[in-house]
Structures are given as C-alpha cells and as structure tokens.
Structure 1
Amino acid sequence: MFDSMKIERSLDKASFKALEPGLREGLLDLQSELIAQKRCTILILINGADGVGKGAILNQLYGWLDARKLATLTYEAPTDEERARPAIWKYWRDMPAHGDIGIILGSWYHTPLETHALGGPDGAELTQALDAINHFEAMLHAEGVLLLKLWLYLDPEDAKARLKALDEGPYDRPVVREWARISSKKIRRRLEASAAETFRQTSTGIAPWTVVPAADLHYCAIAVGNALMEVLMQATAVPPTECAVPAPASEPAHPSPIPAALPAVSILSTLDFSEKLDEASYRAQLDVEQQRITRLTNSRAFAKRGLVCAFEGSDAAGKSSTIMRLREALDPRHFRVHPISAPSDEERARPYLWRFWRRIPARGSTAVFDRSWYGRVLVERVEKLTPQEDWSRAYGEINDFERQLHEGGYVLAKFWLAISPDEQARRFAERERIAYKRFKLTPEDWRNREKWPLYEHAVTDMVDRTSTFYAPWTLVEAENKHFARVKVLRTIADRLEEALG
C-alpha cells in the first residue's frame, strides 16, 4: 500500500514560498466561512511513526490558520480520569463545537495499531476494533463532524534515522513521540503492515485516509494543506440543511413498517395495570431491594464496574419519585442524577450523544438519567424536531453507544414507566390542585396527551430496536406507584447481582 510513497518527492524552498501564500489565503477564507456557518466541525488526525514530522505539520497548520478556532487535542498514556471510563470517552469529552477545527495527536487508531503491531490481538480482533471505529466515524459524519485522517509516511528506517539526528542535534527540540514501545526494526515493520491493514478496513467514502510522503517536509506541508482545503470546501459548500452527505446506517435497514391499513400494535398494551402493592408489603419489599442495591454498589466488585440508569415514561408516571427511592440506596458521594431537557446551544453545536457521553461516570459510580438519549427517537420523532433520516439511524447509534458502555464494564438499566391516559389525567388534576406539585405541570403536558398514539408507536419501535442482551428494556406498570418503585429497584438489584456474580 505504501509503494508509491517510496517514490522521491520534494519541493525546494523557493517553490514552497511561491505556493504558500495562495494556499494560506484559501485556507483562511474557507475557515472563516466554516466559523460563520457553524454547521460543521473538522477533526484532523495526524498519524505516523515517530520522526516523520507530526509536530512540524501541526505547527505549520497553526501558522496558516486562525489559531483562535483551532484546538490541539493530545492523548498519551491514559490519565486516572480516562482509565475510569470507556476508551472512547476522552474523544467525546473534548469534541470541538461546530465552526471549530481540532487537531488530534494520539487518535482512536493508536491503541489498536500499537496492540496489533506488538503481536496482541489476532486479525479477527483487529477487525472488530476497526468495525467499531467505522461505526463511530459514520455517526460523527452524519452529525456534521468531518474527518481528515492523515498518515505521514516515511520508511521506518529513515524515520528512525531522522529521530536519532534530532536527538543528537546541537540543541533540544520538541519531538512528538507516540510509539515508545515500537522499538525494534521488526516491530516498526509490523506497525507499517498494521497501518496498511487499518487503511484497507477504515478508508471509507465518508472518512478516507490520506497518506502523505514525509521525506521532504516542504512537500508534506503543501500536500497536507491541499487535503485540508478539500475538506474545508466540502464543509462549507453544502446546503444549510445538511453538513455532509448521509452516512451509511450503523445497522442494517429496519424491517418494513406494518401497512397502515392494519391495526397498530402497541407493546404497552401487554402491561397489566392492575398490579399493586399494599402499604405494608411495599415498605417491606422496598427496604429489601434498597439494601441489596446498597450492598452491591459498595462491594469491591462494583469498584471495577459502573451503573447507568435511564428513565423514560409518560408524563406524571412517577419517574422522579422512583429515582428518589433509588437515591436513598446509593452513596451520595458516588452518584449523580442528570435531568435531561432540550439541548443547550453548546450541546446543539456537537453530535447529540456528546451531552450524554460527557456525563458517563467513573467506574465505581452511578449515573441516573431522568429522560435520556432516547429523546432522539421519542419526543424529537413525534414532535418532528429531527428529520426522519436522523432519528431512524439513531437506533443503531444508540445500540453502539450502549454496547461500548457494556464492554467498558457498565451495567445498564433502562425503564419505561407506563400509565393509562385516565390515570395521567387524574395525576395532572392533582398537580393543578396541590400548590407544591403545580410546578411539575405545563401546558405542554396537556398538549402531549393529544399525541398519545404516536408516542405508543414510537415506544414500540424503540423497544423493538434497542432492547439488547446487554441493555434490555424493562416496561414498568406504574399505575400503582408502590408496585412500580419496587419493580424498578428489584430490576436494578438483579442486574447488578448478575453482572457482579
């Protein structure tokens, strides 16, 4: 794959100086348009062996572009904060806003490449890791994050010689070193082979690799500038309604919907709303389940895990009061409740899962989401706040998100609290009557009752498409609050017990 890179290519200083002003002007003009439009983010992944000039290229980009809208994102050995969460979390945490450009050293390709080059995972495991990366990059693209994936190529032995010359130079110079473990000639060649296989599997139409010969840094810099120019043109030339061409779905196409002529089926119709607990039974069972949760979340085994709970349900179904009973069982130093409402401007300027990824707790802790990432396929779908192509692909993106949490050691518990329309009307009336409950009721709540069938349809699709073995949905009959609270807490305790052994 690198055969053509070995052909000598160079650019003398005079030619570089002749080309640079036009390139710089074009980059600045396009970057200004990117900033003004605020529709896209660009991430530049600078990869390559040590000694190829990654630091020089990064500095050159800072010399050409408006540095106020540039961010250097560097990742070395994981920090304690990063080790306590899934590996991809740090990239979500640092995601730049639309209109900005991020330059990444130590990208999500580093660990799979290094591990494979050192003789770690076999081909099947590398393929699995790269497949997850393809899904991640497809979602970023669909959410307006464009990638420029660079591999600066220099023959491994030439890169080693350049690195040695820098080390032995007359003065110290900062050198980007990312591959300390890639030391011997054999392993350097294996890294090259691992990179070639990675390009084959992850160079896609929406996120292709650009391999740039780096023997001559003048030539390399102009080539990188031209590649960035193309991405900037793509980012700024599209219609205002979409930042890029649609990305391929994260999962195979969903089954065709049932023809409209047939009666609609609601999964909530299978629930028995007569389920109830009397006061004495409720108190006794609640105490048992709270004690189980306390014991499990304070165990040594849980220190290496984490708990993420997502609560969805009809308005007035009792989510808040149920979360309060869960709160009583948890150490307040190690859990957070995140009430989720409409996204802020800061959140709208990034992929929609960003605001949830940044709230994922460290292992040994718990996060409770009062409303969650499922708003994408519920309220945003029903209220037509998001185009159908966006909420349709969200099922696969959510499954990817939850699988990454599961693989990172997290226990997921997802609940839909269901009540009947009549019970909801009764609870709304009670909220209007009782002063300290009145704040919970809005005109929007009454209006949403008119769309009850649409929400039932959306819930049915949601459960069908996102209830997995690692993150199953639990439908909760919440007509009786005592029964609902105990069922939720028992489910969480059972999930923890199963995961912790």
Structure 2
Amino acid sequence: MGILTNESCLKMKRKEFEKTIEPLKLKLGELQRTAKEKELPILIIFEGLEASGKGAVINDILLTLDPRGYKVVSHNHPLEGNSLPFKQYIENIPGKGDFHIFDRSWYDYAFTEESNLTRRCKEINKIERSLLRSGMLIIKFFLHVSKKTQKKRYIKAKKNPAQSWKVTPYAWQQNFNYKTIAGTWEDILERTNNFDCGWNVISSDSIYGAKSEIFRIIVEKIESQLNAKEVRPDDVLLPYKKPFSLDKINLEKALDKKEYKKELEKLQKKIYNLHHEIYTRRIPVIIAYEGWDAAGKGGNIKRLVGRMDPRGYDVIPIAAPSTIEKNHHYLWRFWKAIPRNGHISIFDRTWYGRVLVERIEKFATNYEWKRSYAEINDMEKQWIDDGAIVLKFWLQISKDEQLKRFKERENTPEKKWKITEEDWRNREKWKDYNSAIEDMISRTSTTTAPWHIVPANDKYYARIFVLKRFIDAIEKRLYGKK
C-alpha cells in the first residue's frame, strides 16, 4: 500500500511519553486560548481502523483543553430521514475561535458509500476548500494499526467487562477483511490528501508514540496557522459563458383577476396531491426566493403553500445573520435549515445574499463574495446529486413598479410596516444591485439548478408562473414528464 505504508511510526515507552507529552499539553492549552482570542476556528478530524485508539487519543486531547472552548462530535452514519448526508457534518463545524473534534466524519460516510467513492471524495474536497478559504484550520489524522495488533486488542478488550461491548461481529469482520478495508481507506486518503489539507497518517501500534506524534502535529499546525500571513488565491471568481441581462425580461405579462382565480384553484389542488407524493417518495425540496424589495415574494409564497399540509413544509425568512451565524461559515445557517426526506424548505431570501446585499453594502470583502459563486454551485449540485429538488426564483419588477408599491405601502396602514428606510436606501443603489443580480444569474444558473426569472410587475401572473414551475419540477421527478 502507498500512503498507509508511509505512516509515522514512533515507538515510545510510558516514561519517555510522560516526559515528552507534558510540555506539548501545556503549549496546546496556551494555543487554544490564543486561537480563541484571534477567532481561529479549528477542526480536527480523526479517522482510523477499528481498535486504532481514536477514543484514547481524543480523551487525552480533551483533558488538556478548556472544556468551555471545545466540542466533540461522534458521527456514525447520516441521521435517519435525512437524504442529504453532509448536513449533520456541516452543521457541526466550528465557529470563530471554536475547537471542534470530529470522531469520524464525512470520510467515514464516503467509506460506507464505496459505490459513490469518487463523487463523495470530490464533494469533500470542495467542502474543505471552502472551509479553508473562510479561514478555518483543518487537521486530519488517520490512525493505522496492523492486523496483528488489531486482533490482540480485540482479545484483550473481550476480557475486560468495561470494554467487551466494543468487540462486535462487525469488529471481527473488519479484522477478517483487513486487507480490503485498508485498501479502500488508502484510496480515500489518496483522493483527499490535498496540499493545503493533507492527511497525517499515524501508526498506533505504539499508542504512546501515536499520542506524542499527534500532540506534536496539532501544536505545530496551530502555531503555524496563527503566525501565517493570509494568502488568497487569485482564481476565485467563477467565469460565465453567457452574460445575462434583466432588460430582456418582458414585464408586460399579466392575468386578469377572474382568470387568475380559476388558475390558482386548479394549480393549488394539484400541488396538494403532489405534496403528498413528495412525502410518500421521501423527496426533499428546496425552494429559493430572491427578488427586488416589494417584488411580492411573501404573497407568492402564500399562494404556493396555500393547500399544502403545514406539517410538511417550512418557510424560512432570512434576515441579517445573528452573532452566532456571523461566527460561522456563511453557508452554515442554510445547511442547518435544509429539509428532511419528503419535506419542503422555502427560503424567503437565501445564500445569494452573499453576492447581493453583502457585496453591495460591503459586508463581505471582494475575496469573500467572489469565491462564493463556485461554493454555492457546488453546494446546490451536491443537494441535487443526493436526491433533492432545487428551485430558484428571481422576482423581477421595474423600478417604476417598485416606487408605486413603496408609496402604496406608506399610504396603507396595514402595510406600512413593510416599508423601511433601508428599502429606500437600497432603491438608490438600483444600478449596483442590477449589475450584481445579472452577475449572480450568469454565474449560478446551472443546468441542474437554473434560475427561473419571474416577470412580477403583475402579481397575479407571477404567482401562477411560480406554481406552474413548481408543478413541472415535481412532476418531472415523479413521472419523468418534460
């Protein structure tokens, strides 16, 4: 084997270990405090063969740290009912200054999905690249143990009542199929052993040597990250083949009230039945609404869910991020809200705020919003590849129509709460937002997740347009209709 035959193998006895480890533990405690002060998020991933000592290593690390500043997450397999398997990992990534340890991670999931190994490794590489570019330190360990040592540890554990539960038929199967299992892991490690986020493969035949080496690497990596100058790659802006122009949208399209009511009744009845089919077939649906202020997103969503079972969908209004959300990767709060199997999540404003309001208002740096196009495309593709339906709607109105609606809101008591000073300020930047919107659509309207541009000067037309597109997408999945 390649990468597993080059693992670090440091033999060490207990006395030598205790002498070596003490200064490393003191240093790690100090570095944890410094990382907290400097808001450095740290993620340490532990993978390894059965009986390789991951639990013992993690325990020693925890005894060194301030318990108020770390979190250990033990992952097995994706939670039941969740067809988007990376959710449970993403929602547990550290925020600024946090120190998280994954006892098994997305790599263990890739191992269990050997038929999709190539795709999963590519997805993991993209996720880690996004986290690294956000400033996170990721340290990855794979604990390797020989077949002989693994068997010895099983036998020893079997004699200990406190540990015998660990020696399961699955564990013995791992030893019996040792060569095949180690080979699969080697394939994973080689596919994900990136220059900026490489694997530290450690032999744990000597557990003291393994612990010493792991502590040394963690201390070295954190120190290096804290002292490093930020280097930003130049290739973060995703190019687009065909520029998009909002001026080409025909905003004159309209429906009279009688025709609208007739269509609405018919389409909502159809959606009622399709919603049940979505649940039965366990298909997650993600709907993204974006649009100009006063474009009618709220009213549009009301008509979409008008006949749906309220237990089967969530409407998620997105406002400015909270303090906790700001401390995490910008996509974190959206990953947390994606639906379970058979459920629908409707986002009233979305992750595209990164390339719209955050870009225009300079809440995100040029580097941050420019790299997000590719990251968003990667995220949506992953959702779709895992079985989700993703629908994206941009509600387009003219500048004159927006002004008309603003004034109507100001003059209508029950609507006055909808208009704010911020709406007027955003209107003054119409030209800047228009350019950002066109960039967004050009760079993120993909074959698998295209933007549906909704002519919304007429609210009736816009509502029917969205309902029809929703029905088309669901029927295409359920029945293969074009």
Q: Shorter chain as normaliser: what TM range? A: over 0.9
CA contact under 8 A between 2:290 and 2:348: conserved in structure 1? yes
CA contact under 8 A between 2:286 and 2:388: conserved in structure 1? yes
Aligned-pair CA distance for 1:178 = 9.8
Residue 102 of structure 1 aligns with which residue? 100
After superposition, the C-alpha distances for 1:90-115 in whole angstroms (9 at most, x for unaligned) are: 01222232212111122111132244
Residue 458 of structure 2 aligns with which residue? 480
Aligned-pair CA distance for 1:184 = 5.6
Report the residue type matching 1:201 in the other structure: R
1:222 equivalent in alignment to 2:223: no
Change (3 A) 1:266 1:220: closer
1-side partners of 2:167 and 2:70: how far apart?
22
2-side partners of 1:226 and 1:196: how far apart?
24
Residue 53 of structure 2 aligns with which residue? 53
Aligned-pair CA distance for 1:281 = 0.5
- Normalising by structure 1, we get a TM-score of 0.90
CA contact under 8 A between 1:290 and 1:328: conserved in structure 2? yes
CA contact under 8 A between 1:206 and 1:247: conserved in structure 2? no
Change (3 A) 1:234 1:329: farther
Aligned-pair CA distance for 1:180 = 2.3
After superposition, the C-alpha distances for 1:251-299 in whole angstroms (9 at most, x for unaligned) are: x85259x9xxxxxx76211111111111111101111211121111112
Change (3 A) 1:45 1:176: farther
Residue 261 of structure 1 aligns with which residue? none
CA contact under 8 A between 1:337 and 1:367: conserved in structure 2? yes
Report the residue type matching 2:139 in the other structure: L
Residue 158 of structure 1 aligns with which residue? 149
Q: Secondary structure at the match of 1:413?
A: strand
Change (3 A) 1:310 1:126: same
Q: What is the number of equivalent residue pairs in this alignment? A: 477
Which of residues 388, 401, 406 is equivalent to 1:423?
A: 401
Residue 212 of structure 1 aligns with which residue? 202
1:135 equivalent in alignment to 2:126: yes
Report the residue type matching 2:85 in the other structure: A
Residue 27 of structure 1 aligns with which residue? 28
Residue 5 of structure 2 aligns with which residue? 3
Residue 62 of structure 2 aligns with which residue? 62
2-side partners of 1:197 and 1:246: how far apart?
29
After superposition, the C-alpha distances for 1:35-59 in whole angstroms (9 at most, x for unaligned) are: 2222x22111111111111111011
Superposed counterparts of 1:79-98, under 5 Å: 79-80=79-80, 83-98=81-96
Report the residue type matching 2:95 in the other structure: A
Aligned-pair CA distance for 1:387 = 1.3
CA contact under 8 A between 2:11 and 2:208: conserved in structure 1? yes
CA contact under 8 A between 1:49 and 1:156: conserved in structure 2? no
Which of residues 290, 297, 301 is equivalent to 1:312?
A: 290
2-side partners of 1:77 and 1:391: how far apart?
33
Aligned-pair CA distance for 1:235 = 3.8
Residue 18 of structure 2 aligns with which residue? 17
Residue 379 of structure 2 aligns with which residue? 401
Aligned-pair CA distance for 1:397 = 0.9
2-side partners of 1:148 and 1:248: how far apart?
24
Residue 274 of structure 2 aligns with which residue? 296
Runs of 4+ aligned residues of structure 1 deviating over 3 Å after TM superposition are: 4-7, 174-179, 244-250, 300-303
Report the residue type matching 2:59 in the other structure: N
Residue 324 of structure 2 aligns with which residue? 346
Q: Secondary structure at the match of 1:102?
A: strand
Aligned-residue sequence identity (percent) comes to 32
Could you tell me which runs of 5 or more consecutive residues in structure 1 were left unpaired when the two chains were aligned: 259-264
Q: Secondary structure at the match of 1:298?
A: helix
CA contact under 8 A between 2:240 and 2:443: conserved in structure 1? no
Change (3 A) 1:359 1:127: same
Which of residues 228, 251, 262 is equivalent to 1:273?
A: 251
Aligned-pair CA distance for 1:301 = 6.5
Change (3 A) 1:368 1:27: same
CA contact under 8 A between 1:347 and 1:355: conserved in structure 2? yes
Residue 410 of structure 2 aligns with which residue? 432
1-side partners of 2:394 and 2:274: how far apart?
23
2-side partners of 1:182 and 1:460: how far apart?
58
Which of residues 306, 314, 322 is equivalent to 1:336?
A: 314
2-side partners of 1:65 and 1:46: how far apart?
17
- Normalising by structure 2, we get a TM-score of 0.93
Report the residue type matching 1:144 in the other structure: G
CA contact under 8 A between 2:76 and 2:108: conserved in structure 1? no
1-side partners of 2:172 and 2:259: how far apart?
63
Superposed counterparts of 1:450-461, under 5 Å: 450-461=428-439
Residue 338 of structure 2 aligns with which residue? 360
Change (3 A) 1:179 1:25: farther
Residue 147 of structure 1 aligns with which residue? 138
CA contact under 8 A between 2:284 and 2:389: conserved in structure 1? yes
CA RMSD of superposed structures (Å): 2.3
After superposition, the C-alpha distances for 1:367-421 in whole angstroms (9 at most, x for unaligned) are: 1111000001111112221111211111111111111221222211111111111
CA contact under 8 A between 1:50 and 1:176: conserved in structure 2? no
Residue 321 of structure 1 aligns with which residue? 299
Which shows bigger deviation, 228-237 or 372-381?
228-237
Q: Secondary structure at the match of 2:277?
A: coil
Report the residue type matching 2:69 in the other structure: K
Q: Secondary structure at the match of 1:476?
A: strand
CA contact under 8 A between 2:174 and 2:181: conserved in structure 1? no
CA contact under 8 A between 1:182 and 1:188: conserved in structure 2? no
2-side partners of 1:167 and 1:101: how far apart?
34
